[in-house]
Amino acid sequence: MRRVLAAGFAFALAGTALGQALERFEAVEPHMGTMARIVVYAPDAAQAKAGFAAAFARIKALDEALSDYKPQSELNRLCRSKPGVPVRLSRDLFRVLDQAQRVARATHGAFDITVGPLTRAWRARREPTDAERAAVGYRKLKVEGRTQSATLLAPGMQLDLGGIAKGFAAEEAVHRLEALGLTHSMVALSGDIAAGEAPPFRDGWRVELGPDGRRVELLHQSVSTSGDTEQFWERDGIRFSHIFDPEHKLALPAGQMVSVIGMRGMLADALSTALRVIAGESGVEKARLVLEEFPGYTAVFREP
């Protein structure tokens, strides 16, 4: 495991309780299939290291629960459960599944975590079978708040949290840093970025949305970008995305990139995927209409 810790330029932060100077520290570790990057402003290296340890531990714990790659993850144990039998969930997995189903209903299925069978076929570079397609559909997953449980309603189901888990993990890592007093922080997990208070003497965290160089400033916000620049499968000269149209159970052709900015990383992540699907199927204006159902969230649509 690789860790990088670098002290940057020291900024005197006027008005802090102890009048301490804050320095910039950065650390990188491999988590959730990507390089997790954390930047904090802290009084000294010891506090920064403690924050990094706590934040990376939180990301790792979430990966252990939410990954569909890890055979013994809580998610995959749920997917091996008998159809029709409720399974009690940890608080973390319940929160993610509950949010996922809320977004699925609000977007009429454009966001759907039951596309796991399609995802696995895509990874194997093959067409999904009829049985795999039959296992897809957000209505085939029941999430019950009263018992904090989930029930798979069809055989062969596989849940894929790739469109929501990283946004949640980035947001949770920022919360873990804030609990330790490291309020000036930013966490990046590939295209999912969460930010706390701005760096000293800045209005926000300036981040790039993609290879086109477009930037936004985040202040106690998250941004998630869905697109085709890194994960795609080319066949017969056509590039197919890793993002699926759940209704037709097909990988979307390469197209627009969508970034969603809002307070909650988990919701921004899910919405960026949903809007990418809607824009690809029905156009950008339809996607913008759906986003109006989520006050406080904005989207940027652009060509890759």
Per-residue pLDDT of the chain in tens (304 residues, 90 and over written 9): 333 444 333 333 333 444 469 999 999 999 999 999 999 999 999 999 999 999 999 999 999 999 999 999 999 999 999 999 999 999 999 999 999 999 999 999 999 999 999 999 888 888 899 999 999 999 999 999 999 999 999 999 999 999 999 999 999 999 999 999 999 999 999 889 999 999 999 999 999 887 777 899 999 999 999 876 555 555 555 555 667 777 766 666 666 789 999 999 999 999 999 999 999 888 999 999 999 999 999 999 987 5
CB half-sphere exposure, 211, CA atoms < 13 A: 9
Spatial distance between the Cα atoms of 127 and 125, rounded to a whole number of angstroms: 7
**Residues 55-79: b if buried by 16+ CB within 10 A, e if exposed:** bbebbbebbebbbbeeeebbbbebb
pLDDT at 111: 96
- Tell me how far apart the alpha carbons of residues 172 and 38 are, in angstroms, rounded to a whole number: 12
Alpha-carbon torsion angle 284, 290, 291, 293, nearest 10: 160
- Tell me whether residue 292 is exposed, middle or buried, using C-beta atoms within 10 angstroms of its C-beta: 0 to 12, 13 to 18, 19 or more: exposed
Q: From 87, 92, 100, select the one nearest 66 (Cα to Cα).
A: 92
Going along the chain from its start, the domains and CATH numbers come out as 6-66+165-218 (3.10.520.10)
Contact 291, 271 (CB under 8 A): yes
Of the candidates 26, 25, 37, 28, the one whose C-alpha atom is nearest the C-alpha of residue 1 is: 28
28 - beta bridge partners? 37
CB atoms near residue 162 (< 10 Å): 22
Q: What is the pLDDT of residue 241?
A: 61
pLDDT of residue 127: 87
Q: CB-side exposure of 86: number of CA atoms within 13 Å?
A: 11
Strand partners, 188: 37, 193
| Integer Cα distance of 170 and 222 in angstroms | 8
Question: Half-sphere exposure of 27 toward its Cβ, with a 13 Å CA cutoff?
Answer: 24
